[in-house]
Copies of this chain bind each other. A is one copy, B any other.
Amino acid sequence: MSGIFKWRGKMIKIGYMGPKGTFSHEATLKYIKGKESEYALYEYSTIADVILAVENNLVDEAVAPIENSLEGAVNITLDTLAMDANIKIKDEIVLGIKQNLLVKSGTRPDEIECIISHPQPIGQCIKYIHLKYPNATVRFSDSTTAAAQEVAGCNGRIAAIGSMIAAKIYGLEVLEEGIQDSNNNMTRFAVISHTDSARTGNDKTSIVFSTEDKPGSLYRILDIFNLWDINMTRIESRPAKNELGRYIFFIDILGHKDDEDLKNALTMVGRKTSFMKFLGSYPVFVDREDI
């Protein structure tokens, strides 16, 4: 029935880091696929703004990149999650990242003097750039679509690295498709909201904590998960920002906060840490397109 009738309930406001054509935009479209009529999309210009929009009730949900399989953690997302009090992770989305070389229509490869993009896609195509455009200068932009916009308005000597959706939106020619150095290029996005998700039986839980300033204190936390046979799928350290050599840790574990063992383990972690924040339990991502 869905798709026949227009959604008549209250629209769910969802924020992402724009402009249109970013991989965040693509991830958001993937997340709401099949339920497009229930969502109203809101564009923000930075990752921090997207997340704060949830905290400030400007949107109901927000999509923010959390880690890339090649570049690693997205620090601004982690730092904002650690700081802001009233937000939870309610879902995750994994997106395969394909980068492309975009130019103004008619530009030939030998005319390209400068390649611009966000530092992350530049990093993902660094071998390609070295090999194919060793003499081009590389310049950083605020986003892949800012780069595409600049190319759209330029004299033809500049190329942008960006998504196919960006090429379409800004009327650019795709000079070469799939120029990323590795095909294992995936980004994991978190869907952020005021509440997390109910138990499905295949869930993940995220927490952030700082340990006491004593030798072996991180080991003692991991020991708790070991004791309860809880699998950790990820550990990420970020600076505590008060002193060099002090860190906070982001940990993902398998299970839901309503699982008895996980609940007990988290109670114990809370006692053995100087700060702990529960970031949410949510379903492990399963790609519907792959099924």
Contacts and interface: CB of A to CB of B under 8 A. Distances in A.
Interface stretch (A23-31, A83-91, A194-202, A215-223): A215-223
A77 interface: no
Number of copies: 2
Nearest to A70: B241
A69 interface: yes
A-side interface size class: 35 or more
Interface string A76-116: 00000000000000000010000000000000000000000
| Most chain B CB inside 10 Å of its own CB: which residue of A68, A186, A225, A237 | A237
A239 B67 contact: yes
- Name the prevailing secondary structure of the A interface residues: mixed
A245 interface: yes
Contact of A241 (B75, B182, B234, B239): B182
Contacts of A238: 72
Given A72-B75, A119-B119, A218 B235 contact: yes
B234 A245 contact: yes
Given A71-B75, A71-B239, A239-B68, A233 B218 contact: no
A149 interface: no
B244 A188 contact: yes
Contacts of A215: 231-232
Given A70-B241, A239-B70, A247 B234 contact: yes
B72 A244 contact: no
Nearest to A186: B244
Contacts of A225: 219
Given A119-B119, A140-B140, A140-B141, A216 B241 contact: no
Interface string A59-75: 00000000111111001
Interface string A123-141: 0000000000000001111
B245 A231 contact: no
A243 interface: yes
19 contacts: A69-B239, A69-B243, A70-B239, A72-B75, A72-B239, A94-B244, A119-B140, A138-B142, A140-B141, A184-B242, A184-B243, A184-B244, A215-B231, A215-B232, A218-B222, A234-B237, A234-B245, A234-B247, A236-B237
